[in-house]
Structure 1
């Protein structure tokens, strides 16, 4: 995976140890499926590969500066070897596209810090845009998306009580039973898959 990462995104990751990303990529699984059991593994693979490439680029960028300033070589080695973890927050299908919202945490982030960030709906959004062949991506900070992503997450939370990651599909409406997403055995809930209604709960009229 090749990344073209903006200086703003790299600076945010180094300063805060975490960023929230929103990737928009093609979705054409084989065999065809719009089930979360198919979408989640693809989303996790994307997030993990992106995080590994991002950390590698962060190390390269820091190493370049180290060559310019030899006195910072020790800090550079530590940064270049730093590890990170991607954590899925939400996956949303749009026809033949998949939007993946995930957090990247550098290794030094404490569990308490991760928990606080994980519970924060309103976060700065860094967009991961797919370029052409699907192997190259442009990553940049997109201020206008902060509120839009937060509103969408808040809307889903009205029906989905977790656990995360959240999952929605603009072609197949979600069904919920007491705040738990239901995708299988929908006949047990009195309606067919083709009649799924977003936010409908067992017992609703």
Structure 2
């Protein structure tokens, strides 16, 4: 059941509309999966896409999935396509979506989410702290300088999305550290710790 058309439409409030047209085996005509994604759901989908892309860059794809309000996307390294399932009440639809089509449609969504994170209250401070974090020494050695730089740029973008979401939460400990002059070292340590954790998870270095 390969997808025929996949699209993502962003809205001003940060939400988005997902639509996927596909041909169901044994049925006539084109079927359609569509749903609205809240701002947090769109961010989850963007992070899923970025993680897939980064792991592919390192040649270490891993099985993963994301579930958002009845919509599930699953990736199996042994398969060329994503498996998409939409569950609405007792009704269920399933289709396969080529990875290239998914990443192509998600590119604009990723840019929009990053721009929103950069423009958030703590976005500039977080971006500055992330820029100060040195890349793992083995990154360039494993990928080469240019690819290593691109991988580090992608890691920083993923970290920014996660950190901006954390800092925007009510009562955020990270936000308090970013606001306080005496707690800047703690904020820097928190940012660096997350970036290193992401590198270990999404861009593991050989032993």
Using the size of structure 1 for normalisation, the TM-score is 0.24
Using the size of structure 2 for normalisation, the TM-score is 0.24
- Give the number of the structure whose residues are more often helix, by fraction: 2
